[in-house]
Amino acid sequence: MANLDRCAGYATRGELGEPRLAMDRPECRFRGTTVSTTRIRVVVDLEIYDGKLAELEAIAKQMVAESQQEPGTLGFQFLLSADRTRCRLVEGYADQAAIAAHFGAPAVHQHIQQIIQVALPTRMEIYGDPGPMVAGMAADFAVEIFTAWEGFDR
C-alpha cells in the first residue's frame, strides 16, 4: 500500500508544466475499493480583517446569488465563527464541468479580488478530482487536493 503521507498532497506541476495531483503517482494509486463519485467540494478558510465583516457580508451575498444560478453548483455556503473573526466557504459541484464553469467565470475572479481586500485566505482544499483546468489553477496557488480513496457519496 502507498505511503499516504506522500499521496494526500498538493497539486503540483509536472516536467512539462502540466498540473499533477499526488494521487497521479503510481505508488499513490490505491488498489483496493475505489470511490466512484463525480462530486467535488471546496473549502476556503478566511480570517476577516478588523472592521471588514459588513463588506465581506455584501460580497458573500452577491457570490451566493450568482453561484445559485449555476446549474452544476450544488452548494455554496459561507459559515461564520462564533467570534465573527473567521469565515469558512464550503462549495459543492456536481462534476468537473461544473467546477470548471464556476472557476472560469469572470465574476469569480472579480470576487476573489474583492475578498482579499477584506479577509486573508488561510486555507483552501479541494475534495475530489477537479479536472485539469481547476487542478492547474490550484497548482498556481498551492491548494491542497484530496482525491477519493475510500468511502461513498450519496
Whether residue 57 is predicted with pLDDT greater than 90 in this model: the reply is: yes
Whether residue 17 is predicted with pLDDT greater than 90 in this model: the reply is: no
Q: Is residue 42 part of a domain?
A: yes
Give 61-100 pLDDT, tens digit per residue.
999 999 999 999 999 999 999 999 999 999 999 999 999 9
Give 20-37 pLDDT, tens digit per residue.
555 455 444 444 444 447
Q: In 3-state terms, what secondary structure has residue 123?
A: strand
Range of the domain at 91: 37-146
Q: Is residue 111 part of a domain?
A: yes
Q: Is residue 2 part of a domain?
A: no
CB-CB contact of 147 with 20 (8 Å)? no
Q: Is residue 19 part of a domain?
A: no
Q: Is residue 115 part of a domain?
A: yes
Q: Is residue 77 part of a domain?
A: yes
**Closest among 135, 126, 121 to 39, alpha carbons compared:** 126
Q: Is residue 102 part of a domain?
A: yes
Instruction: Report the number of distinct structural domains present in the chain.
Output: 1
CATH number at residue 73: 3.30.70.100
Q: Is residue 10 part of a domain?
A: no
Q: pTM here?
A: 0.77
**Closest among 39, 35, 4, 10 to 22, alpha carbons compared:** 10
Question: What pLDDT is stored for residue 154 in this prediction?
Answer: 80
